[in-house]
Amino acid sequence: MFIVGIDIAKRNHEATIIDNKGTVLGKSLRFANSIAGFNKLMELIRKHAGENTVVFGMEATGHYWLALYTHLRQKGFTVYVINPVQSDALRGMYIRQTKNDSRDSFIIAEVIRFGHFCETAVAPPDLHALRELCRHRFFIVDTVSDLKRKVIALLDQIFPEYEKLFTNTFGKASLVLLSEYTTPGELLAVDTDKLAEILDTASRGRLGLEKAVEIQDAARNSFGMLLASDSIALLIRQYIEQIQFVEGQIAVIEKEIARLLAGFDTKLTTITGIGTTLAAVIFSEIADIKRFNSAAKLAAFAGIDPIVRQSGDFTSTHCRMSKRGSPYLRRAIWLASTVAVFRDPAISAYYQRKRSHGKSHMTAVGHVCRKMTSIIFAVLRDNAPYLPAM
């Protein structure tokens, strides 16, 4: 058997081949992260290994290993992906201060030869796709939130009274109105009946003449900034266009997330507070529940385990979340917990008990997050639906 250790980088990788005794075969190969580079690697393998069994080892360096990994797997090779910490431990035995690509690829091959390593979990294609979609969804949801904050900040300058006119500034009727008539002057210039007609259509009959009169009264008595109002109105309209466009993207992504999640047998959506999208986030971030032998280990992975500060005889009584691990999983668990606090009788009682002990709202929700993690762990471990305690 031959072992190929590969040191991963963005544009070029370095490969070293050793036999099962640790003898290096030839010089290390530097090859591009491309089809041409991959073919060059295959030529080296054929030259030294022939028909013998060849296994590969590489470190999980960012995302740069994924392309090479998938091409090697497609060729039928066994590929071990290891955490860089494991090769660092062996590196100190060979050279204490020197670090170069050739030596690193040899060290990685040696780690595989010795066999004392833990593989990094590599998600199946659909699970990987699900995780990427869920992470991107969080990104664009945050983008929409940023755009909305910008709109609010600008409205506060030219029409500060507007926030009291609608229960939701970004509801359909409000956005239709702001897209056409943004400043107090523009709202006063339009005929009241026409304004009422626009509101009636946008709100499907819920709003009409009374709301139109209220809006124009507010515009007439507005104490907004008069300077550069036209330019600010232009910015607001463009931000609204962006919000509507990105929200359309979110809808498309959520549909695809739901389609992919349906291909997995998971009971996560039976948990109070966890719908399709949050279930997809949690499922894709955890990947394989067998990686965790306890709910506490899963909590640590999510970064919701408490940091205990201790020195001598002193132990802090004010513990915070460690916030290590997956921020996406932590966010999903937090969002689910904030819903479950109000909708799940058992969790609500647990939350109220923590509050009665003097815990703040945020601290009590933090405790709920850890309880939620235990529920998630049990549902995934047993692949059984959650049954809320009454």
Residue 389 has pLDDT above 90, yes or no: no
Same domain, 75 and 136: no
Nearest C-alpha neighbor of 61 from the set 33, 81, 40, 80: 81
Q: Over the stretch 42-81, which tens digit does the pLDDT of each residue have?
A: 999 999 988 889 999 998 777 888 899 999 999 999 999 8
- CA–CA gap between residue 125 and residue 42 (Å, rounded): 24
Q: In terms of pLDDT, which residue wins out, 61 or 178?
A: 178
Q: Over the stretch 313-371, which tens digit does the pLDDT of each residue have?
A: 444 445 566 667 789 999 999 999 999 999 999 999 999 999 999 999 999 999 999 99
Choose the final residue of a domain: 206, 236, 259: 259
The CATH number given to whatever domain includes residue 208 is 1.10.287.4070
Residue with tokens 């370095």: 14
Amino acid 85: pLDDT: 62
Same domain, 373 and 342: yes
Residue 98 has pLDDT above 80, yes or no: no
Same domain, 371 and 302: yes
Same domain, 377 and 297: yes
Residue 86 has pLDDT above 90, yes or no: no
Residue pair 36/138 in contact (Cβ under 8 Å)? The answer is no
Residue 306 has pLDDT above 80, yes or no: no
Amino acid 117: pLDDT: 67
Same domain, 186 and 276: no
Q: Over the stretch 127-152, which tens digit does the pLDDT of each residue have?
A: 989 999 999 999 999 999 999 999 99
Of 4-18, 117-131, 175-189, 262-276, the range with the lowest mean pLDDT is 117-131
The CATH number given to whatever domain includes residue 99 is 3.30.420.40
Amino acid 49: pLDDT: 86
pTM of the entire structure?
A: 0.77
In a domain, 65, yes or no: yes
In a domain, 122, yes or no: no
Give the number of domains in the chain.
3
Q: What does pLDDT average to over the chain?
A: 89
Q: In terms of pLDDT, which residue wins out, 229 or 375?
A: 375
In a domain, 121, yes or no: no
In a domain, 9, yes or no: yes
Amino acid 317: pLDDT: 45
Amino acid 194: pLDDT: 95
Mean pLDDT of 218-226: 91
Which structural domain range is residue 135 located in? 128-259
